[in-house]
Amino acid sequence: MSGSSPQEGPAAGGGLLGPTQVRGLVQALGIRPTKTLGQNFVHDAAAVRRIVRSAGVGPQHCVLEVGPGLGSLTLALLETGARVVAVEIDPALARALPVTVADRMPQAAGRLRLIEADALSIRGPSDLGGARPTLMVANLPYNVAVPLVLTALEALPSLERLTVMVQAEVADRLAAPPGSRTYGVPSAKAAWYAQARRTLTISRHVFWPVPHVDSALVELTRRLPPATTASREQVFAVIDAAFSQRRKTLRKALAALAGGTDRAEAALRAAGIDPAQRGERLDVEAFAILAEALGALGPGGSQGPPAQEPARPHIHQPDQSPARGAQEGPRAGEEPR
């Protein structure tokens, strides 16, 4: 059935997929959801419509969807009148998606462009057949959610806003402010591109198979990167180094990158940052200032004359309230390098 009204079709889902349709497609395709690809399929029509409403999708938009799977979210996006560019790595799912759309929402089939590829390999619009999406709306695989977000933001400057469903803990880390216990590499790198905020909590029970954790939506709104002479790669290298040994002071954490603790301290002082501070106190602007100072160090560790007086970095006081993810050790979501 192809209708798009909430009153039409099975389970008041119109052309959307419900639990019966999801299981039927899985059986027909002969696939088994794999943890390697993070395959947990959404089967709740109300949930996907809620996500699409939260993302503000309309007929004027070209939307990038990464990992469309069986097409639950794809159909809800097409239902708005938007054009959808869907990137799917699984060959069986990639072959099936256009068929599913043509069967359940034939009037929208011409607005779907399918790209069979690894989304982490996207380097620009040419990898999307020339499409320049303005929105990204996706249910991202838990194990590569952060790298996918950063890849999309870097490779596709046309993206104005991302609304992505990720593991709840990863959502907290992406949206964490400086000074909080969940602030780290994902938060600082995402802030280079966008302002992130956690919006909706999504129950694990809208997925099949049911994952062990709940999910959440994160909205990332594009912003200009910090004004700096340092490159993004230089700033990200400083962020990686600052959080590689989270309990250590910046003077010690940056020693390997700077070529010694004395050189690290010289750069920190030139940037107006206390060498005894830790990385979680610095926002992305402060990391950019620090990257400039490190780049200005001479071969012997001396500070060359800066082109202008460095701006004062933003140093945040630690969050004294209890926070999620306070424990040390491995956390959900990969930290991009």
Q: Do residues 76 and 52 lie in contact, with contact meaning Cβ atoms separated by under 8 Å?
A: yes
| 42 labelled ligand-binding | yes
Q: Do residues 291 and 285 lie in contact, with contact meaning Cβ atoms separated by under 8 Å?
A: no
Q: Give the tokens for residue 294.
A: 């490190």
3-state secondary structure of 163: strand
| 40 labelled ligand-binding | yes
**CA distance linking residue 219 with residue 306, whole number of Å:** 37
Instruction: Give the number of other Cβ atoms within 10 Å of residue 318's Cβ.
Output: 14
In this structure, is the dihedral angle defined by the CA atoms of residues 267, 272, 275 and 281, taken in order, positive or negative? negative
End-to-end CA distance of the chain: 45
Query: Does 209 sit behind a cis peptide bond, omega within 30 degrees of 0 on the bond before it?
Result: yes
**CA distance linking residue 262 with residue 255, whole number of Å:** 8
- Beta strand pairing call for 41-42 and 62-66: unpaired
* CA 110 vs CA 17, 34, 138: distances in Å: 19, 30, 20
Q: Do residues 72 and 38 lie in contact, with contact meaning Cβ atoms separated by under 8 Å?
A: no
3-state helix, strand, coil in the chain (%, to 5): 40, 15, 45
The residue among 124, 141, 150, 161 whose CA lies nearest residue 240 is: 150
Strand partners, 218: 164, 198
| 118 labelled ligand-binding | yes
| 143 labelled ligand-binding | no
The residue among 299, 270, 271, 305 whose CA lies nearest residue 287 is: 271
Annotated binding site for S-adenosyl-L-methionine: 40, 42, 67, 88, 118, 139
Annotated binding site: 40, 42, 67, 88, 118, 139
